[in-house]
Amino acid sequence: MKQTEEQAIPKVLPGAIAFIRPRTSEGGEMTLYETDYEHWLSEQITNLQHQKWDSLDIPHLIEELEALNRSNKRELYSYTVLLLAHLLKWQYQPSMRSGSWEASIDNSRKRIGRVFKDQPSLKNYLKESVQETYAEAKEWAHKETKLNINLFPQNCPYSVQEILSLEFLPD
């Protein structure tokens, strides 16, 4: 099902601003993927369930799967930076410890656990990225605490097991 760009874009209310302009295929006609993502996705699922291989939109499926994987990695990366920053703050500012910090540490660990439940192979990505996430966490902790950044160890002082342990809090 193809539509022209004019057919696909609804009329905008007076004073409203359209922020996203859909991409068009080479012929100027917009594909279902570009005009109605939910419908496109439903069709792709149905095609897969009924093994209609010739009806699959392979280029866009690949694009979506790659984007999903990048998104999962970004989510894990983000939670790990947050977790490490709070572990550093917990360790290096004991007088400032609060239930909020502890809750943030716990929440980050649980969210990381959910990511691993959905995609266990990302445990390898955590191991590979721990130094990079630690560098960002160290910078974040430095900015929030105003402590000299050189006070924090050069390399991550926590093992992956400690980072993920619901019981671990550094002294």
Domain residue ranges in the chain: 3-56, 60-164
31-55: pLDDT as tens digits: 888 888 889 889 988 988 999 999 9
Q: CB-based contacts of 167: which residues, under 8 Å, 6+ apart?
A: none
pTM of the model: 0.70
Task: Dump pLDDT digits (tens) for 124-135.
Answer: 999 999 999 999
Q: Token pair of 75, please? A: 């989510």
- Contact by Cβ (8 Å): 143, 69: no
Can you tell me the distance from the alpha carbon of 138 to that of 81, in angstroms, rounded to the nearest whole number?
9
d(CA 141, CA 85): 5
Query: What's the pLDDT tens digit per position in 58-76?
Result: 888 888 888 887 888 999 9
Q: Does the pLDDT of residue 86 top 60, yes or no? A: yes
Give the bridge partners for 3, in sequence order.
30
Report which residue type is found at 141.
Answer: A
Backbone angles phi, psi at 12, to 5 degrees: -95, 140
Q: What is the model's pLDDT at position 24?
A: 53
Percentage of the chain exceeding pLDDT 70 = 84
Tell me the two tokens of residue 86: 């709070």
DSSP-assigned letter for residue 154: S
Cα distances from 145 to residues 49, 55, 109, in angstroms, run 53, 56, 22
